[in-house]
């Protein structure tokens, strides 16, 4: 059983998938940093010095000046600013994956179209060679193409 598992784990698809997951996780962290540290601060500055990661709605009934204070008090909050960051994070990752898949599809060679070597007999509908003048199945005489 161990030998069978080893053969399965060492197949190309499994190893490719493992590498893809590891690279994807690292890429996700890079995109998260890009959104939180580079994209959102200028957007927040343009919108009037807003830090999206600190936007929240307190639903516990007690007032807290910051999200950190609400979290320290274990207050129930809806962190819509973090949600906005995550949406932008997702859109960037989805766009990059779309661009990668699009480029990979361009690199793929189109499958060659098989040359047509047969035609259907108009009488018995069986496949016959293109150059045939008589059907070998029903012996009907065929018109020249």
CA distance 96 to 112: 30
Beta strands 118-120 and 127-129: pairing type? antiparallel
Q: What is the pLDDT of residue 79?
A: 92
| Cα angle, residue 136 at apex, residues 135 and 141 outer, rounded to 5° | 30
> For domain 2-108, is the CATH number 3.40.50.300?
no
Q: What is the pLDDT of residue 74?
A: 92
CA distance 40 to 84: 10
Place of tokens 């990668």: 100
Q: What is the pLDDT of residue 133?
A: 87
Q: Average pLDDT per run of 10 along the chain, which is 145 residues long? A: 77 76 88 87 86 88 90 92 89 87 84 84 89 87 73
- Residue whose C-alpha is closest to residue 35's, from 75, 87, 70: 87
What is the widest separation between alpha-carbon atoms in the chain?
Answer: 94
| 48 conformational bin, left if phi > 0, alpha if psi -120 to 50, beta if neither | left
Q: What is the pLDDT of residue 145?
A: 53
Q: What is the pLDDT of residue 89?
A: 86
Q: What is the pLDDT of residue 107?
A: 85
Q: What is the pLDDT of residue 83?
A: 92
The full set of domain ranges for the chain reads: 2-108, 114-145
CA distance 3 to 9: 10
Q: What is the pLDDT of residue 144?
A: 65
């Amino acid at each position: 059983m161990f030998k069978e598992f080893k053969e399965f784990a060492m197949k190309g698809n499994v190893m490719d998938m493992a590498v893809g997951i590891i690279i994807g996780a690292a890429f996700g962290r890079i995109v998260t940093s890009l959104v939180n540290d580079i994209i959102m601060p200028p957007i927040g500055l343009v919108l009037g010095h807003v830090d999206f990661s600190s936007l929240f709605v307190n639903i516990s009934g007690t007032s807290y000046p910051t999200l950190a204070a609400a979290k320290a008090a274990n207050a129930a909050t809806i962190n819509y600013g973090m949600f906005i960051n995550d949406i932008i994070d997702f859109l960037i990752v989805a766009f990059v994956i779309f661009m990668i898949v699009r480029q990979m599809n361009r690199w793929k060679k189109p499958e060659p179209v098989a040359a047509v070597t047969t035609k259907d007999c108009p009488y018995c509908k069986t496949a016959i060679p293109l150059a045939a003048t008589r059907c070998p199945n029903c012996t009907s005489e065929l018109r020249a193409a």
